[in-house]
Amino acid sequence: MGKTRISGIQLFLLITGFLLGSRLIISPASESKTDGWLSILIAGAGGILLVTMYASIALLNPSRTLVEILRDRFGKIIGTIVAISYIWYFTHLAGLVFRDFGSFLVTTTYPRTPMEVIIAIFALTIIYAVNSGIEVMGRISEILVPIVPVLSLIIGASIVTTHDFTAFLPVLENGIKPVIKASLNLLAFPFGEAVVFLMIFPHLNKMKSLIKITTFSTLSVIGLFLYIFFRNIIILESHFLDQATFVPHLTSVLFPGLNLEPLFGVIMIIAGGIKIISAIYAAVMGLSQLIGAKDYRTFTTCIVAFSVILSIWVHENIFEVFNWAGNTWFYYSIPFQFIIPLILLFLSLIKKADPKPQDL
Amino acid sequence: MIAMNYSMFIVVLLFTILTLYDLWRFVRKKESVKVLIVFIIIMVSSLIIGVLLATGRRPASPSELIDRLLKMMGVIK
């Protein structure tokens, strides 16, 4: 790992921006309707455990990225195969966020512009940001991520006149099953996706504060998700929450005489951008470490290009994207987010308990 | 009659130019053969898929394949 370092606050904001990502434009836990707040709390508790597990793996393997840990713990052949799967997963994730971003802007702001053009223009900025390095990514998040909660609060405060404070009652009207399903989806998207940070954690300047940083990031995101959920349900009520494609956007256009729509575009560009930058950085860094390239920037353009093509290719329309994210993404993510990190944690703990002479 | 997606063609062209420029730099910097091969594989696969999408011949996407695999395993219905 090189000498490039990011501070605790930069990592905190990078993780926060990443976790907010495209979940800000798709209402968190809207599948469980009025019980969304319960799903957010359950998924949040699981999210804290998951992110702490990723941080523990990083602490048990100091200065090593996910690819290096995989090759070290699983051996060269299996480790390389698993590392390739992770590089694919990170690229796929970036492609899906590109698609969310493109679909959102085409549906709400630029209906006459082809989605491919919007995604490609955004991708050029992503290439520039990733090639600028992790320090610049840290500074970008330091400047831009605080804008996201501020804008969300402004939107909430602007439309608070239209409300029904009992809209989230009765509790568990449809039973516990939809709540659990929404919790699992929210756990995998976005909390489990933080596995990407196993490629970024080694850049932190003070590793001892890692668990504190990850926990605070996750708690902030849970808080913002709860705020967004209550804002949306108080203003829209549950039947609208279930019908709208981009729920927070619908919330913003309800207020007469005040155009809050561009604020959602800004939120999407910031949070979606941070998420794509982190995923692409992880994929590019992983690939360069796997191949043994001198510089990770070697693969930035080709991985971003592939990701852009993938974003157009992967689903035919936004409804397919939502359907896939709601029904398949969790199961597809299980090995990447839960099983392999658990095995890694277990193997790292064994290695720590019984170090070989060369590890000392 | 094939429905052409011209904006997709422009996007494919843009990224082809960018990646070809990178490739030219790598050849000049004498990057290892392994790096060049991986770079070319990713570049060519993006180009092929991009052209297929632009010409309206969309191949089965990874999400569809993952869906089928999970259905075959009985994980999803």
Per-residue pLDDT tens for A238-265?
Answer: 666 666 777 777 777 776 777 777 887 8
Which residues does B52 contact at the CB level (< 8 Å), separation at least 6?
Answer: B58, B59
The answer to whether B55 faces chain A, any CB pair under 8 Å, is no
Contact assessment for residue B15 and residue A308, using Cβ atoms and an 8 Å cutoff: yes
The closest CB to that of A313, out of B42, B43, B53, belongs to B53
Q: Of B28, A55, A298, whose CA–CA distance to A290 is shortest?
A: A298
- Residues of B within 8 A of A301 (CB-CB) are 15, 18-19, 22
- Helix, strand counts (H, E) of chain B: 3, 0
Taking the CA of residue A231 as centre, how many other CA atoms within 13 Å lie in the half-sphere pointing to its CB?
26
Cβ contact A291–B35 (<8 Å): yes
Which percentage of chain A shows pLDDT scores above 90? 60
Q: ∠ at Cα A199 (A193, B66), nearest 5°?
A: 40
Q: Is residue A10 packed enough to be buried (19+ CB in 10 Å), middle (13-18) or exposed (0-12)?
A: buried
How far apart are the two ends of chain A, measured CA to CA in Å?
19
Which tokens belong to A31? 């599948």
Contact assessment for residue A288 and residue B5, using Cβ atoms and an 8 Å cutoff: no
d(CA A295, CA A170) in angstroms, rounded, equals 56
What secondary structure does DSSP assign to A278-328, as a single string? HHHHHHHHHHHHHHT-S-GGGGHHHHHHHHHHHHHHS-SSHHHHHHHHHHT
d(CA A128, CA A138) in angstroms, rounded, equals 14
The answer to whether A112 faces chain B, any CB pair under 8 Å, is no
Which residues does A163 contact at the CB level (< 8 Å), separation at least 6?
Answer: A234, A235
Which tokens belong to A150? 């501020």
Instruction: Please report the pLDDT score of residue A253 as a whole number.
Output: 73
Tokens 């799903």 identify what position? A39
d(CA A105, CA A242) in angstroms, rounded, equals 21
The answer to whether B13 faces chain A, any CB pair under 8 Å, is no
From chain A residues 119-148, the ones with a CB under 8 A of any chain B CB are: 119-120, 123, 127
How many contacts, defined by CB atoms under 8 Å, are there between A and B? 98
Instruction: Please report the pLDDT score of residue A238 as a whole number.
Output: 67
d(CA A341, CA A349) in angstroms, rounded, equals 12
User: Where residue A360 falls among pLDDT bands split at 50, 70, 90?
Assistant: very low
Entry pTM: 0.93
Q: Of A200, A211, A220, A346, whose CA–CA distance to A282 is shortest?
A: A200
d(CA A48, CA A150) in angstroms, rounded, equals 23
d(CA B68, CA A228) in angstroms, rounded, equals 35
- Residues of B within 8 A of A93 (CB-CB) are none
Q: What is the 8-class DSSP label of residue A61?
A: S
- Structural element, H or E, at residue B37: helix B33-54
Contact assessment for residue A199 and residue A286, using Cβ atoms and an 8 Å cutoff: yes
Q: Of A309, A315, A307, whose CA–CA distance to A279 is shortest?
A: A307
d(CA A108, CA B47) in angstroms, rounded, equals 30
The closest CB to that of B39, out of A92, A302, A316, belongs to A302
Backbone angles phi, psi at A204, to 5 degrees: -65, 135
Instruction: Please report the pLDDT score of residue A239 as a whole number.
Output: 67
Quick check: ipTM above 0.85?
yes
- Name which of A52-66, A249-263, A299-313, B27-41 the model is least confident about: A249-263
Instruction: Please report the pLDDT score of residue A240 as a whole number.
Output: 67
Sorted by where each starts, the structural domains of chain A and their CATH numbers stand as 8-343 (1.20.1740.10)
Cβ contact A328–B63 (<8 Å): yes
User: Where residue B71 falls among pLDDT bands split at 50, 70, 90?
Assistant: very high
Residue A138: count other Cβ atoms within 10 Å of its Cβ: 22
d(CA A157, CA A166) in angstroms, rounded, equals 18
- Residues of B within 8 A of A302 (CB-CB) are 19, 22, 39, 42-43, 46
- Name which of A8-12, A197-201, B5-9 the model is least confident about: B5-9
- Residues of B within 8 A of A291 (CB-CB) are 32, 34-35, 38
> Does the pLDDT at position B17 exceed 90?
yes
Cβ contact B43–A302 (<8 Å): yes
d(CA B53, CA A309) in angstroms, rounded, equals 9
The nearest CA of chain B is from the CA of A103 a distance in Å of 15
Cβ contact B11–A116 (<8 Å): yes
Instruction: Please report the pLDDT score of residue A21 as a whole number.
Output: 85
State pLDDT tens for residues A170-226.
777 788 898 999 999 999 988 999 999 999 999 999 899 999 999 999 999 999 999
> How far, in whole angstroms, is CA A279 from its chain's centroid?
8
Q: What is the 8-class DSSP label of residue A169?
A: P
Closest Cα in chain B to A123? B15
- Name which of A2-11, A125-134, A141-150 the model is least confident about: A2-11
